[in-house]
Amino acid sequence: MSDSEPTLGFETLEDQPGLAIVDRVEQERCLCRTDRPVAPAPGSTDAFRFPVDRAVRVTVGEIALPNVAGVLVRDESGEIVAQVQQLEEEHLATGRYSIELLTQFKTYVEVTSSVDVVADATEFRITFAEPTEIALGALSNHERPAATVQTTADPVDMMAAVETFGSALKTTAADRAFPSLRGHPPSVELGDTRRIPSGLEPPDTGVRLELPARRDAVYVAAPLAYYLGARVEPGPTPRLVTDDGFEHSLAGPHGFEVAVERNDVTPVEVDRLRHAWLEGD
């Protein structure tokens, strides 16, 4: 897989109507049979209640998936209104639903319709009242790097490489504590030049780490930069800075390394400290 190729893709099936959701990093495929031929159109990932890497829109009257461990259906408020396992079925009146398919990776359907879920020994079938446009999204839980960045031994180049780690976060909310919402960061190789493929920019968290321009400082701060989704820049003293003016020293009474290794600064703590600072406490 090339660095620029998306982690997840949707491919139409050749031998029957439907789609295959392909995780190119983990080399897994999830088959989704449909009751009619489909022409998937790009979908917005913002349409989903939970984070997804990619999404498409298709019009179908039914989808069927083998090798599904179960189905969870949530209503518009987020409450679970149905849980279906093998040899079970459920009917839901017309409404707006978020359907989670427990496949080898996270798969979601967003739909407004009545919904019938029927599970036999071989597959789960989800039927709608009539042919309906659904949003189908998937989230890779990749446990291997999806891309590679190259850096020189210069500490500033290494900061730029470490800064890409946050691109693997599936969310910048507190839910990032779940391993499934933190993808594997890019791998790093040492070379004669710095090379960072496109698409590996850190998320827009408004958080940055300022570090002394030393390799040992970059090594110590790398896990924190990843978890915070922070930008990493050189600075005279180690500190955490946000776009709204908040500053937090990482020097600590026992030194920078101890302060970072203790992971004193979590995303929740950053938010708490920022709110206190903005309110003047």
Share of the chain above pLDDT 70, in %: 82
What mean pLDDT value characterizes the chain? Answer: 84
Task: Write down the pLDDT at residue 279.
Answer: 54
Task: Write down the pLDDT at residue 3.
Answer: 45
Q: How are beta strands 28-34 and 8-12 bridged, if at all?
A: unpaired
Backbone dihedral region of 261: left (phi > 0), alpha (psi from -120 to 50 degrees) or beta?
alpha
- pLDDT, one tens digit per residue, over 223-243 is 888 888 899 999 988 888 888
Task: Write down the pLDDT at residue 98.
Answer: 96
Whether 164 has a pLDDT exceeding 80, the answer reads: yes
Q: Could you tell me the two tokens for 211?
A: 């570090």
Backbone dihedral region of 263: left (phi > 0), alpha (psi from -120 to 50 degrees) or beta?
left
Report the length, in residues, of the chain: 281
Q: Could you tell me the two tokens for 189?
A: 């190789």
Task: Write down the pLDDT at residue 114.
Answer: 97
Q: Which residues contact 98 (CB under 8 A, 6 or more apart)?
A: 48, 49, 50, 73, 74, 75, 78, 108, 109, 110
Q: Could you tell me the two tokens for 152?
A: 């020189």
Chain centroid to CA 69: how far?
A: 21
The answer to whether 177 touches 269, Cβ cutoff 8 Å, is no
- pLDDT, one tens digit per residue, over 76-112 is 999 999 999 989 999 999 999 999 998 877 899 999 9
Give 175 or 208, the one with higher predicted confidence: 208
Task: Write down the pLDDT at residue 2.
Answer: 42
The answer to whether 166 touches 226, Cβ cutoff 8 Å, is yes
Side-chain-side CA neighbours of residue 124 (13 Å): 26
- pLDDT, one tens digit per residue, over 19-74 is 999 887 667 888 999 999 999 999 998 889 888 888 999 999 999 998 788 899 99
The answer to whether 189 touches 202, Cβ cutoff 8 Å, is no
Measured CA to CA, the distance from residue 244 to residue 246 in angstroms comes to: 6
The answer to whether 142 touches 7, Cβ cutoff 8 Å, is yes
Alpha helices (runs of H) in 89-235, residue ranges in sequence order = 155-163, 215-228
Q: Could you tell me the two tokens for 273?
A: 């400290």
Q: Which residues contact 224 (CB under 8 A, 6 or more apart)?
A: 209, 230, 260, 263, 265
Give 253 or 122, the one with higher predicted confidence: 122
- Least Cα distance to 52 among 110, 134, 136, 138 occurs for 138
- Least Cα distance to 211 among 251, 176, 269 occurs for 251
Cα torsion angle, 130, 131, 135, 139, sign: positive
Task: Write down the pLDDT at residue 4.
Answer: 43
> Can you name the residues that pair with 195 across neighbouring β-strands?
150
Task: Write down the pLDDT at residue 81.
Answer: 95
